């Protein structure tokens, strides 16, 4: 199975900060990488697919980059509604796997 | 609007069975792969299984943790997805989400609200 790791596991930031979350895959997954946002008590929400394609309706302060085994999610200017847990996910190979998540909370 | 509504969760004893349903609306259900993803209390996301769209033969894939115990099926005439769960274990306790996966791009572009399955004696 492809193992996905994320760093950091959590971070504290302020509104307006630039935040970058890193995701690493244990094998080459090309650009078959997605990012999801989840708030407490809610279903996950798709943000980015194919490593850098923004999901329809997702604000442009979110961006993704990377290929192969190293990827990142950047929030250019943190807004109050962006405080949540973020998961990366590989869909190159079955079984599909998720990273453990990165919790972004308010400093 | 795309809507996915899960149902069928509840309390079940270890070794028991449960069938979850996901009612889809607002899109052409038969054109999409459909997946189940679960989340144990306080934990991360775990993919459970997929059923491909009819053009690919309604074939299925499963996580190793559920293979042989869980079965994903679909009824395109009813715009419905199902998860039959047998030989349930305490570690299957989780919120179960159904998710839509369009062809030709990343998966899980829409999710249901989830249904809680608790396996306990």
Whether residue A58 lies within 8 A of chain B, CB to CB, comes out as: no
Residue listed under structure tokens 């099926």: B73
CA dihedral sign, ordered A101, B22, A31, A49: negative
| Residue A107 confidence (pLDDT) | 87
- Report the residue from B44, B61, B108 with minimal CB separation from A94: B61
Burial tier of B70 (Cβ tally within 10 Å: 0-12, 13-18, 19+): buried
Residue to substitute from B34, B43, B108, B114, interface A, most A β-carbons within 10 A: B108
Instruction: Please name the residue of chain A whose CA is at the shortest distance from the CA of residue B41.
Output: A41
> Cα–chain-centroid distance for residue A9?
12
Report whether pLDDT(B103) > 90: no
Instruction: Please name the residue of chain B whose CA is at the shortest distance from the CA of residue A34.
Output: B106
Instruction: Please name the residue of chain A whose CA is at the shortest distance from the CA of residue B64.
Output: A95
Inter-chain touch B47–A98, beta carbons under 8 Å? yes
User: pLDDT tens for residues A13-29?
Assistant: 999 999 999 999 999 99
Q: Which helix (H) or strand (E) holds A37?
A: strand A33-38
User: pLDDT tens for residues B63-96?
Assistant: 999 999 999 999 999 999 999 999 999 999 999 9
| Residue B105 confidence (pLDDT) | 85
CA dihedral sign, ordered B57, A43, A14, A76: positive
Distance CA A87, CA A38 (A): 8
* Beta bridge mates, B75: B80
- Tell me the chain B residues in contact with residue A1 when contact means C-beta distances shorter than 8 Å: 64
């Amino acid at each position: 199975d492809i193992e996905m790791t994320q760093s950091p596991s959590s971070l504290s930031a302020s509104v307006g900060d630039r935040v970058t979350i890193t995701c690493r895959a244990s094998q080459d997954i090309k650009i078959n990488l997605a990012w999801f946002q989840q708030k407490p008590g809610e279903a996950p929400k798709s943000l980015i697919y194919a490593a850098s394609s923004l999901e329809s309706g997702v604000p442009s302060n979110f961006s993704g980059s990377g290929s192969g085994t190293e990827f990142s999610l950047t929030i250019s200017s943190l807004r109050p509604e962006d405080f949540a847990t973020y998961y990366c996910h590989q869909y190159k190979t079955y079984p599909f796997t998720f990273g453990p998540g990165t919790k972004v909370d308010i400093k | 609007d795309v809507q996915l509504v899960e149902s069928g969760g509840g309390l079940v004893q270890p070794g028991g069975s449960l069938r979850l349903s996901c009612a889809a609306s607002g899109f052409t259900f038969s054109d999409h792969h459909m997946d189940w993803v679960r989340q144990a209390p306080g934990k991360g996301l775990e993919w459970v299984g997929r059923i491909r769209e009819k053009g690919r033969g309604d074939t299925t894939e499963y996580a190793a943790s559920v293979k042989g115990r869980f079965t994903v099926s679909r009824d395109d005439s009813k715009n419905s997805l199902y998860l039959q769960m047998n030989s349930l274990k305490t570690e299957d306790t989780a919120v179960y989400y159904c998710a839509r996966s369009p062809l030709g791009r990343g998966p899980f572009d829409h999710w249901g609200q989830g249904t809680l399955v608790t396996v306990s004696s």
